[in-house]
Structure 1
Amino acid sequence: ATTPVFKSVINKITEACTLYGSIGRGLGQKSEYSTKQYCQCRDYILEFLNAPKDKYTVIFVNNTTEGINRLSNILIENRNDVIITTRMEHHSNDLPWRGKCNLKYIEVDNYGRLKLDELQYLLEKYNGLVKYVTITAASNVTGYVNDLSYISKLVHSYNAKLIVDAAQIVAHKKINISGNSKDESIDFLVFSAHKMYAPFGSGAIVGLKETFERLDTDLKGGGTVDSVLDDSEILLSTPEKNEAGSPNFFGAIALVQAMKELENIRFEDIEDNERLLLKRTLNGLNSIKGVVTYGDS
């Protein structure tokens, strides 16, 4: 859910308010400063997720919901494309795909876990037709954390690509988008700032640069084109071609500052603290007659 804003994030936004200018559209000192800072935010996000700059790009969005909607608009090339999702998803990773493709669902078991045998069954049944598997990293209902390493290897073994809704996990667990091998990598990852101790109105898609370069953008306007004629236009390269209009400079600054603060706290310490809280909660719940807990715990 929505988190309070780190004090360091508030301070960073306040500082930036005295210095900001137009991003990529001006020659003045403030404009150059803002453009440089904005580009450095992309670089930091890639570093934060262990995403190589030659393979991945960062597209800023307003939130996870917008990010997944944009992916559904950009990535689906044919209505017969098979997209697999799950019954565990937030509406934000379900509704955007409906009506645009051949959408299939993986069920959950009585403990709230994904039936991964169904994923393999669907991948086998529609072998060659499945373009993407889109899945949450963690349930927004139970908090159950999916085994992304296993899922990624399975998805890639059928030459499909993996999209991950990371909104519920990004402030709790260190994410390695590259995995321990190519087969374990995540192809597209989407998350929001307001769930990682930054304000509303910012988030990011981190995805394969080659795919965004190959496919058309779903938004056009200022900042997306190199040149325009009456009967044609030449788009800039990604990510610029995918960000129409004046960007949310403060959102990018706030998001990255929150990431830096989380790294200062250390994800290992965050996980240790959450395990202690979970243990205490489960001990209390299990002492109450009739309470059923879901997941592996």
Structure 2
Amino acid sequence: MSLDPYQLRKDFPILSETMPNGKPLVYLDNGATSQKPLSVIQATNDYYAKENANIHRGVYYLSQHATELFERTRIKTSHFFQAQCAKAIIFTRGTTDAINLVAQTYGRVNVSEGDEIVLSVQEHHSNLVPWQMLAREKRAFLKFIPILPDTTYDLSKLSEIITKRTKIVAISQMSNVTGTVHDLRKIIDRARQVGAKVLVDGAQAACHMPIHLVDLDVDFYAFSAHKMLGPTGVGVLFGKEEILEAMPPWLGGGDMIESVELESSTYAALPAKLEAGTPNIAGVIGFSHALDYLQKVGMQNIKNHERMLTEYALERFQKIGGLTLYGTEDLDKRGGVISFTLDGIHPHDVGSILDEEGVAIRVGHHCCQPLMKHFQIPGTCRASFYFYNTKEDIDVLIKSIEKVKSIFGRVVRK
């Protein structure tokens, strides 16, 4: 089945908004955050208006009902991503929080002086800085999987990078800069050979394609709700149950304890052990409705629609003189993200002029400064698509880029 973006757009109030300058909004910054359908907005509002109570603690109706809605979302998330079990789903504040949780719990216990942590040169800062901090504390070494000119992983020396000293391999499934979707199978298999654990940053992939966590067979998988129609401030860490069971808590406080004495405590079972304090209840309930919406649309349909948009956009981009594209040309190895630069024009200038046309893209280093240094550029312009985007959105983008070139052409001539 295919999806109808024109019909689906009606569910997103912001997509019919007009910008202060009178231009219709063309939202192409989905790599940063997605827009929210009315069902998610209403569910979040309804919680505060009709269902507001803390969870796991009260015996009264509102508390029990809020707890039920919260825990149903955990089960729904487990089913949506075909995880091992609901107890393997840990709610966090986002992908960044989830990765830090693993670094500060599993990492602190299992990484020692002289051990190795393997990353790639294209990681988001959220999947780089936590491991830098851990390596510095433990006197461990960071090693990096390089990328090929087409921005796919260079696995030619994988056995030299992932060795018996490797304890953790932390890699992204889809680049937030280039949209490159990586085949992780060889990396996971090599990690298994040496007994290393694998964490996958799924912040970009989880919202754009079907993810089967049991089949993927990773030890940890992290993603954010706000990139897949849900509220901000909610993330998910999947971990294999036996690994999570052995991990110590990261944060101490309410809800993660079994009993507390003045000088010692015992901890609750999963998942509570790793979810200290009052969570973002409204956000998690809103995320439940986001999952319902995505289930209705179909993740394979979303992937197919974005492939069509990406193919169309790349064809049009390649006709623009003085424009450089970053990422693979193989549509089987990329998602709906396109990064580009215009010769002699700073990305911030491009973004500002596009904003005058109502076009919202992201410009800068995209929290990937090492990758920008690899490309030897200060940053890129990034257009990122979702299922509610259309070919007309891309046409407006292309027309706006031509306006940028025209303006700077006049400036150069003067």
Q: TM-score, normalised by structure 1?
A: 0.92
Task: Choose the corresponding residue for 1:160, options 196, 209, 212.
Answer: 196
State the match for 1:295 in structure 2. Answer: 328
Q: CA deviation at 1:218?
A: 1.1
Task: Choose the corresponding residue for 2:152, options 90, 106, 113.
Answer: 113
* 3-state DSSP of counterpart to 2:223: strand
State the match for 2:112 in structure 1. Answer: 79
Q: Which residue identity does 1:33 align to in structure 2?
A: H
Matched, 1:255 2:287: yes
Task: Choose the corresponding residue for 1:103, options 142, 146, 149.
Answer: 142
State the match for 2:78 in structure 1. Answer: 46
Task: Choose the corresponding residue for 1:283, options 303, 306, 315.
Answer: 315
Listed as ranges, the matches of 1:206-221 within 5 Å are: 206-221=238-253
Matched, 1:233 2:265: yes
Q: Verify the 8 A CA contact 1:203 1:255 in the aligned structure 2.
A: no
Matched, 1:70 2:138: no
Q: CA deviation at 1:20?
A: 3.0
Matched, 1:25 2:53: no
Matched, 1:188 2:253: no
Q: Verify the 8 A CA contact 2:84 2:213 in the aligned structure 1.
A: no
State the match for 1:4 in structure 2. Answer: 35
Name the CA distance, whole Å, in 1 between partners of 2:195 and 2:213: 18
* 3-state DSSP of counterpart to 1:116: coil
Task: Choose the corresponding residue for 1:58, options 67, 86, 89.
Answer: 89
Task: Choose the corresponding residue for 2:183, options 127, 133, 147.
Answer: 147
Q: Which residue identity does 1:275 align to in structure 2?
A: R
Measured against aligned partners, the alpha-carbon deviations of 1:261-296 in whole angstroms (never above 9, x if no partner) come to: 111001121112111111111111222345444214
Q: Which residue identity does 2:78 align to in structure 1?
A: L
Matched, 1:205 2:210: no
State the match for 2:357 in structure 1. Answer: none
State the match for 1:92 in structure 2. Answer: 126
Name the CA distance, whole Å, in 1 between partners of 2:52 and 2:159: 50
Moved over 6 A (4+): none
Q: Which residue identity does 1:86 align to in structure 2?
A: S
Name the CA distance, whole Å, in 1 between partners of 2:148 and 2:194: 24
Q: CA deviation at 1:72?
A: 0.6
Q: CA deviation at 1:172?
A: 0.5
Task: Choose the corresponding residue for 2:211, options 175, 179, 196.
Answer: 175
Q: Verify the 8 A CA contact 1:20 1:33 in the aligned structure 2.
A: no
Pick closer, same or farther for the CA change 1:159–1:79 going to 2, 3 Å. Answer: closer
Q: Verify the 8 A CA contact 1:49 1:176 in the aligned structure 2.
A: yes
* Percent of paired sites with the same residue: 31
Pick closer, same or farther for the CA change 1:136–1:98 going to 2, 3 Å. Answer: same
In structure 1, list runs of 5 or more residues that go unmatched: none
Q: Verify the 8 A CA contact 1:69 1:96 in the aligned structure 2.
A: yes
Q: Which residue identity does 1:211 align to in structure 2?
A: I
Q: Which residue identity does 1:105 align to in structure 2?
A: F
Q: Verify the 8 A CA contact 1:137 1:145 in the aligned structure 2.
A: yes
Number of equivalenced pairs: 289
Measured against aligned partners, the alpha-carbon deviations of 1:60-95 in whole angstroms (never above 9, x if no partner) come to: 111111111111101112333321111110000000
State the match for 1:134 in structure 2. Answer: 170
State the match for 1:122 in structure 2. Answer: 161
* 3-state DSSP of counterpart to 1:98: helix
Name the CA distance, whole Å, in 2 between partners of 1:268 and 1:99: 37
Q: Which residue identity does 2:237 align to in structure 1?
A: I
Q: CA deviation at 1:158?
A: 2.6
Name the CA distance, whole Å, in 2 between partners of 1:82 and 1:237: 30
Name the CA distance, whole Å, in 1 between partners of 2:272 and 2:307: 41
Please give the root-mean-square deviation of Cα atoms over the aligned residues, in Å: 1.6
Name the CA distance, whole Å, in 1 between partners of 2:219 and 2:71: 21
Name the CA distance, whole Å, in 2 between partners of 1:22 and 1:199: 18
Name the CA distance, whole Å, in 2 between partners of 1:171 and 1:99: 28
Q: Verify the 8 A CA contact 1:187 1:207 in the aligned structure 2.
A: yes
Q: Verify the 8 A CA contact 2:170 2:201 in the aligned structure 1.
A: yes
Name the CA distance, whole Å, in 2 between partners of 1:63 and 1:99: 19
Q: CA deviation at 1:239?
A: 1.2
